[in-house]
Amino acid sequence: MLIQVKILIFATVWMLFRAIGSGLFLSLTFLGSPRSAPPEWIIAFLGDFMIGTSALFLAYLVWKKPSSFLWGILLAWNSVGIFDLIGALSLTFTTPYSPLPEIGLNEIGVRTVLSLNTIIQLIALTIMFRPQVKSYFNLGNHNSLK
């Protein structure tokens, strides 16, 4: 298996952490905890949860059943994931939230995690356009427009 595909699988699985973290904070909100996030954060957490919960399934499909259809789904999934992360990052400036400072998640910690995830997802998106990766997903050179 190509190293680029392995990196793509790693980057996809990494997004599982988004489901874990957002699931915790959504649970705190649902339980009415004073540690819950402001209401403005709910949409960002829901986006993280949806991206994260689908990560393992998509990584498995990349590993076992690559196809051009899956490549398109990954393209959309990564694009939506990046859009959600950029929205959450901008939210840290408009509605700051410092959850669980005991484990280092103050405003800087939250911004660092969001930035790291954005970089990882941008790397995955960039890798997807490498010729070897496109070939792995059976995306041939369709030069019908010449």
pLDDT at 142: 53
Residues 71-121 pLDDT 10s: 999 999 999 999 999 988 998 888 877 666 556 677 888 889 899 999 999
Cα distances (Å, whole numbers) of residue 5 to 13, 60, 78, 125, 127? 12, 12, 15, 11, 8
Report whether pLDDT(140) > 90.
Answer: no
Residues 38-66 pLDDT 10s: 888 888 889 899 999 999 999 999 999 99
pLDDT at 101: 58
pTM reported for the whole predicted model = 0.85
> Is residue 13 a contact partner of residue 55, using CB atoms and an 8 Å limit?
yes
> Is residue 59 a contact partner of residue 9, using CB atoms and an 8 Å limit?
yes
3-state percent breakdown (helix, strand, coil) of the chain, nearest 5: 75, 0, 25
Provide long-range contacts, Cβ within 8 A and 24+ apart, for 21-24: 21/48, 21/52, 21/113, 22/46, 22/48, 22/49, 22/52, 23/49, 23/52
pLDDT at 141: 63
